[in-house]
Structure 1
Amino acid sequence: MDLPVMPPVQPMLAKAVKGVPREEGFSFEPKWDGFRCLVFRDGDEVELASRNTKPLTRYFPEVVAAVREQLPERCVLDGELFVASSGDGGARLEFEVLQERIHPAESRIDKLSRETPAGFVAFDLLALGDTAYVDRPFADRRAALEKALAHLADTEGPCHLTRTTTDPDEAQTWFERFEGAGLDGVMAKPLAAPYAQNGRTMLKIKHERTADVVLAGLREHKTSTPERPLLGSMLLGLYDAGGDLQHIGVSASFTASRRAELWDELQELVCPIEEHPWGRWQEFLVANPGRVPGTQSRWSQGKDLSFVPLRPERVLEVKYDHMEGRRFRHTAHFKRWRDDRDPESCGYGQLEEPAGYDLAKILTGGA
């Protein structure tokens, strides 16, 4: 492989802001919820690289084949790998299904590449032919990318070109509407900025919500010692319609001093696992569909996932961006204790459900 921009490349990053910027000078695009992926193609040679520069090529043979068929002969593109599922309301992104594609067994990879094929959506151009574009402003990179991938408008994928707009009102509409297809928000890119590796020159506008959840357990911090135990994360739960406490996610962002305070404060709630609502899950020794706390998966092998069970008597308010199935997609942020709420009143009904939207309309430029 001999390209004007060669791996490893650290992708350009973004910083979070509140609200779609209204000033001029930005290009807006949907924020995809998948695996960040840089594509390097030199003829038949294709490499897929992750955000942290690790190889993804072997896990997505169907994407490699699509790159050879649909993308320019020699190019370096920045984009996102995704998996979509179809339903009554149309297609939507499925991040958990995408995660399953990272598997050590080649036979499993081949099987999943047929059953849950991934797609690639391009949103930036680093090189084309013998020309590097990293030092050029985004406006020029985008124009060249649109020209190079114009033929994708007449195809159904699996390679796509993301849509863009310079109209903040349209970007706000995308922000509100596209979440129903599993998208994560909206990106804002300075039209005059070059491609800055590992630089947070882009802006990301993500959904932000709150929920009252039950504290069900805790894990020790990795720096915890017998002399100074520290809380690492809180395990959170919500009651389902049947009255069972389900694991919904974790909250983990605390200062060192607060970790020590919380550890001491919560010791009075510690209980034997046999008396805990999750005690029935002790039988599980491997990962399972409900993501039972304390069990292993291919993502966590070797990590200590044991937890300290707590009597589910305390309620806290957390901030989260969106759901993935019946769990928080990312780590939730602690806001405050809610001593005025009964744990049994904390159920799934309080969570906002975005209106469904068909991913196919986003990929094809539909309304």
Structure 2
Amino acid sequence: MSDAPDRISFPIVGWEFNLSAIPTVTEKCAKKFYARRTGTARSSKRSYNFYVEQYVQTASLWMNSKQLSNGLVYVKAACFRSKKKNAGPYVAMFAFDKENIVDGIGDCPAGKVACNQLMATIRTVIHLQSNGFSEPPDQLSCTDLPQQWRVPRDNQIKGRSIQSLNWRGVRDGGSALPKLAHPKESRAFQRSIQEQQQAKQKLAKGLLALEPKNAFAKALPSTQSQQHRETLYGPASILAPLSYQQYLLPHGFDVHLSGVSLCIQSPAQSLPTLPLFTSSLPWVPQPHLARDDIPQTIQVSNEAAQDLERGTRKQSTSTTWQNERHLRLTSSKFGTVLTRKVWSTKGRQNLKTPRDLSRVPSIE
């Protein structure tokens, strides 16, 4: 294998965002072009990975047919690097006539032979033409791709409560909506106190048959509890863990019933309706809509508003204002107060004593 004897000079201007004028490029043309270069089978497979993993920016595909008189059409595209990913992408270009790929070049160190970026660009053009694209599609954004929210980033998943798990059926025909998770045993059945006593006697006889001197089996029939509590598995002794290991309420919460009684059902009164505009007569608002007592009380003039804004902005530069707020617990001093280990008596008094800041003049 040897390199092509004559290299083609690619144009600088005249590039268009159009793929319809490019002759049909086939996979046979790509393999024939690669066979003329000093490439190996391993490099050919690696260049195919560049195409599959979308190293080529499809939105950067350009075509140049200004020199169509010589029978050549030029194509170029930007392709990401395999190393030094923080650097800019390489530019790969190739020239094509009606039958073969005449020449190609890339910015990478192996661009004069048959680099992976160049072969990935050729395969991208073949793929777009086979799907009937007349112009390159836009680059896919992260929101256009399938969501990956339920795919863990690694093998280590943090433990969480079973009540907070999101149960979904991620399969064909599975449920796409989350379902509430409750720790329960579907095979469990409730047993009465008599059935529990019979099971206790049966367990004691079985243990004594295996070990006649078993103290636990001898004392088991005589254990009886006078107080029971209802559970998911039926009545249980108040001394049994089953009676208090229930998720009836979250830990640390109490239920308080309000003293509000139920309202008495009575026919509701309809709201008054306002008359609509009639023809060209002027509309007179209702008296309760015409009052503007509240806006009049808070209305200030333009000059007063400017003075208030100017004084408020310059108040923080006042020495008197800073001295009055020096020992006060403000949001800017909260970190200092929080980390202070020892407080003096005067410091505690200053935190509690109110101060009159109305006499602090604003700085004009």
> What range describes the TM-score normalised by the shorter chain of this pair?
under 0.3
TM-score, reference length from structure 2 = 0.17
The structure having more radius of gyration, on CA atoms, is 2
TM-score, reference length from structure 1 = 0.17
Between Structure 1 and Structure 2, which shows a larger proportion of strand residues?
1
Identify the structure with bigger relative contact order (alpha carbons < 8 Å, sequence gap 6+): 1
Between Structure 1 and Structure 2, which shows a larger proportion of helix residues?
2
